[in-house]
């Protein structure tokens, strides 16, 4: 009995490899004996087919033993033929980015790491890259659109993961970080207001005192700092004393990081 698509024990140096979720047909005896029936087993469990071929959908990754045995019309059992089937997991593509981005900045495309994988980015803008984490420099409106990631590992191909890239004009004139404020409760300039910060919802804003201790942090910052300490040890209340403080503002989406000082007056 000759195996087609199924190997005997002596031929396992080249086992069958399939992808999780794939359907594959196995058969024996291209010209089966008249009246013969066949018992197929996966890891010792009988399968439905009683003819000389079987269609199997491999839904779960792993290593399996596939066996088949012929029973002739005169009641004679043939040898058990067997072979290993390696079912490789189908990789999962997970794409993310730093969208939305400002015109002239960079698009960063990120793919979650899959072991022994290759990556392919394509887009509605005819962009293509095989980098895992691809970068498009100096973005314009022509780069905005739909981007898809496909991951291939062990010969198995993922379903595409698709994201949208949005490009904004981000008028610099509408963005301003003041050098100080006066949170004294008079209703004027009581909050530290960064003009245009709400256009960067992924921002992170951190304030340090002159000793380098963190006294305030927000992610995202939404123009709510009123000069109070919200982090660490607070002696004599939450209100910070008059003085110069240091900030780090990371806009993330635009790739811009601002560092400077703020004078807090009361």
CATH assignment at residue 49:
2.60.40.10
Q: Could you count the other beta carbons within 10 Å of the beta carbon of residue 121?
A: 20
Do 49 and 72 sit in the same domain of this protein? yes
Q: Where is the domain boundary, 88, 115, 139?
A: 88
- At residue 198, the pLDDT reads 84
Do 161 and 102 sit in the same domain of this protein? yes
CA 154 to chain CA centroid, nearest Å: 18
Q: Is 53 helix (H, G, I), strand (E, B) or coil?
A: strand
Task: Specify which residues 218 forms β-bridges with.
Answer: 205
Answer whether residue 8 shows pLDDT above 80.
Answer: no
CATH number of the domain at 242, please: 2.60.40
- At residue 170, the pLDDT reads 65
The pLDDT tens digits for 152-199 are: 999 999 999 999 988 876 655 578 899 999 898 888 889 999 988 888
Q: What are phi and psi of 166, to 5 degrees?
A: -115, 130
The pLDDT tens digits for 58-105 are: 999 999 999 888 888 888 888 888 888 999 999 999 999 888 877 777
Q: Where is the domain boundary, 88, 120, 139?
A: 88
Residues contacting residue 117 through CB under 8 Å, at least 6 positions apart: 91, 151, 152, 153
By residue range, what is the domain housing residue 110? 95-168
Q: Where is the domain boundary, 137, 153, 168?
A: 168
Task: Report how far residue 64's alpha carbon sits from residue 222's, in angstroms, rounded to the nearest whole number.
Answer: 56
């Amino acid at each position: 009995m000759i195996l087609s698509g199924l190997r005997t024990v002596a031929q396992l140096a080249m086992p069958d490899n399939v992808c999780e979720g794939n359907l594959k047909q196995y058969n024996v005896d291209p010209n089966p004996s008249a009246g013969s029936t066949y018992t197929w087993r996966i890891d010792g469990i009988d399968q439905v087919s009683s003819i000389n071929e079987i269609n199997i959908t491999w839904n779960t990754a792993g290593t399996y033993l596939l066996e088949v045995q012929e029973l002739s019309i005169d009641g004679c059992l043939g040898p058990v033929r067997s072979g290993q089937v390696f079912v490789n997991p189908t990789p999962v593509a997970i794409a993310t980015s730093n969208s939305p981005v400002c015109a002239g900045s960079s698009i960063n495309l990120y793919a979650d790491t899959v072991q022994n994988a290759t990556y392919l980015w394509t887009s509605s803008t005819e962009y293509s890259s095989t980098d895992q984490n691809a970068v498009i420099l100096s973005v314009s409106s022509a780069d905005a659109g739909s981007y898809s990631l496909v991951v291939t590992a062990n010969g198995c191909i993922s379903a595409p993961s698709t994201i949208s890239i949005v490009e904004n004009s981000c008028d610099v004139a509408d963005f301003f970080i003041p050098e100080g404020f006066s949170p004294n409760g008079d209703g004027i300039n009581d909050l530290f207001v960064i003009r245009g910060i709400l256009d960067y919802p992924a921002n992170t804003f951190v304030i340090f005192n002159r000793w380098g201790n963190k006294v305030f942090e927000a992610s995202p910052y939404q123009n709510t700092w009123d000069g109070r300490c919200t982090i660490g040890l607070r002696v004599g209340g939450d209100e910070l004393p008059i003085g110069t403080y240091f900030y780090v503002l990371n806009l993330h989406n635009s790739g811009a990081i601002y560092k400077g000082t703020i004078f807090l007056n009361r």
